[in-house]
Amino acid sequence: MENKKDKRIKRGNQVQITIPPDYNIRGSKRILYRLTNDISENGMKIISDTFIPKGILLKIRLDLKGSPRLIQIHGEVKWIRSIYSDERFEMGIKFRDMSPKDARILKKYIENCSVSV
């Protein structure tokens, strides 16, 4: 998903994921609230109880701890794997279509977290 040299922050941040209406998810909500498992400037990893196939483009609102505002991003599911007997799924999401301002906020957040670790 991301370059191995990318700094990854293993800190849980709140994320709201909106699944597009053209994707049929049986009995599941279109808006999911999760925590990041790790995050970099290019993407994030989350764990969810909802299976979202590879290639789906998601609308993401990311609430970074200590950030002045929510970051609005689109993200593509790049990989997904089953954990806990198909009851939970770990997935990697690559960020796309991020505004320059949001990219600066995310970069600063990762730099600050790297210093404090």
Give the pLDDT mean for 27-44: 87
pLDDT 10s digits, 45-81: 999 888 888 999 999 999 998 887 899 999 999 999 9
Report phi then psi at 18, rounded to 5: -110, 120
Q: Which residue would you say has higher pLDDT here, 21 or 28?
A: 21
| pTM of the predicted model as reported, rounded to 2 decimal places | 0.85
Compute the average pLDDT of residues 16-22.
88
The domains of the chain, with CATH numbers, are 14-110 (2.40.10.220)
Higher pLDDT, 104 or 21: 104
Q: What is the dihedral of CA 77, 80, 83, 86, to 10 degrees?
A: 90
Q: Are 64 and 71 in contact (CB under 8 A)?
A: yes
Environment class of 18 (CB within 10 Å of its CB; exposed 0-12, middle 13-18, buried 19+): middle
Q: Are 17 and 30 in contact (CB under 8 A)?
A: no
